[in-house]
Amino acid sequence: MGRLPVISAGILTSLLLVSCADSSAEQNSEGEDPAAGTSTAETSSEAGDTADTGGAPEDTEGPDAAEEDPSSSPESSDADSMPFSATEQGSYDAPWALEFLPGTEQMLITSRYGELFLRSSAEGADASADLSVTGLPEDIVVEGQGGLGDVVVAPDFEESQRVYLSWVNSSEAGTGAVIGHAQLVDSGDSAALEDLTVIWEQDPKTSGSGHFSHRLAFSPDGEHLFVTSGDRQQLDPAQDLSSGLGKVMRLTPEGEPAPENPFAEDGDVTEEIWTYGHRNPLGIDFDSEGQLWVSEMGPEGGDELNLLEAGENYGWPEASNGSQYGGAEIPDHTEGDGFAPPAAWWTPSISPGSLMIYQGEMFDDWADSAFLGALSGEALVRVELEGEQAGQQEIWEMGARIRDVEQAPDGSIWIIEDGDGAALLRLTPGE
């Protein structure tokens, strides 16, 4: 591992991830179809299968990528200069999400294969003592990018023991994301979900097995549940307010459209929409000021970090700082184009698969920094947030695809790698 020097996210420069250059031609994070500009399957570490042979590497500079600025190009440095120490806490197959349980020294880990693990979050805990949680949905579809997804606790978890899960299921119409909640019952030597209730389904279901997104976040006041709903590789529905694809939804804790949503008067699925024009938003979190941020995978280049504002259109597929696979052009974000521009963007791609905004005390200088787990970038990315703006950033090479990033109650940062045998790591300040 090596640390990449600080560069400016606000300048929107092209990033060259030196450590990934050799592997990018072999492994692509989404396996997109260059002919259509839509994704068909992700690579083995993203989808559990080999990538579509027509796919172009997501972290390889495309023909329309921004010209690199030599003065800001990151270079690898010695691992001893890393600002944190990483200690392994166990390993898992196809992990997708981490969640710490308030008032306890426990955490939950989902596996895309349809497993949920309850384990101790104490440093050095024996991973072999993990409990495999029973009572999971019986209709989980493990295919492509589909499977068991996110897990978050209810705002009143310490009283209710309620957790929320996302997963993919299917019907005659196709596949789609689903959200449900259940009570977590821990008896000490076993754990189970009880009273599992489906509260939301992605609408419409469609063919294919990618871009479900289905990340979850509760508002700081606990009144609203935000759900990312990817474009399902269909592109145009992201601009269609009668479709639930390519959107971020604002719901009540029971999955109903939240009152006073920006398009509430239009009824049906449109009532749920908070923002639109999204591609594959795989990270969502609030900062200390209550502002909502989303990280989003672009096509070939053009990965984004966005500050969400009610009713805004974030451009996909009409505007992107990336290009379609195979080089087809997409208009860049420009002032006055009618779309909300990203606060930060990356070309070549880093493929952000998660987002956490730090609000702990263990890392003194990182309050309100956004942390993104980079899949094709094989890195941990930190972006300073300055009010409504993204400031400087740091990128640390981790030598593996990073699936999720979470803050522990003690302020340490936990990350989990992607794929089978993925390491769970606890980060603490370096000496």
Which positions are catalytic? Answer: 211
Q: What is the separation of C-alpha 216 from the centre of its chain, rounded to a whole number of angstroms?
A: 10
CA distance 76 to 1: 9
The backbone torsions φ and ψ at residue 21, rounded to the nearest 5 degrees and listed phi first, read -60, -40
Distance CA(408)–CA(406), nearest Å, equals 6
Q: Which of 95, 74, 192, 188 is nearest to 147 (CA)?
A: 95
Q: Return d(Cα 105, Cα 255) in angstroms, integer.
A: 29
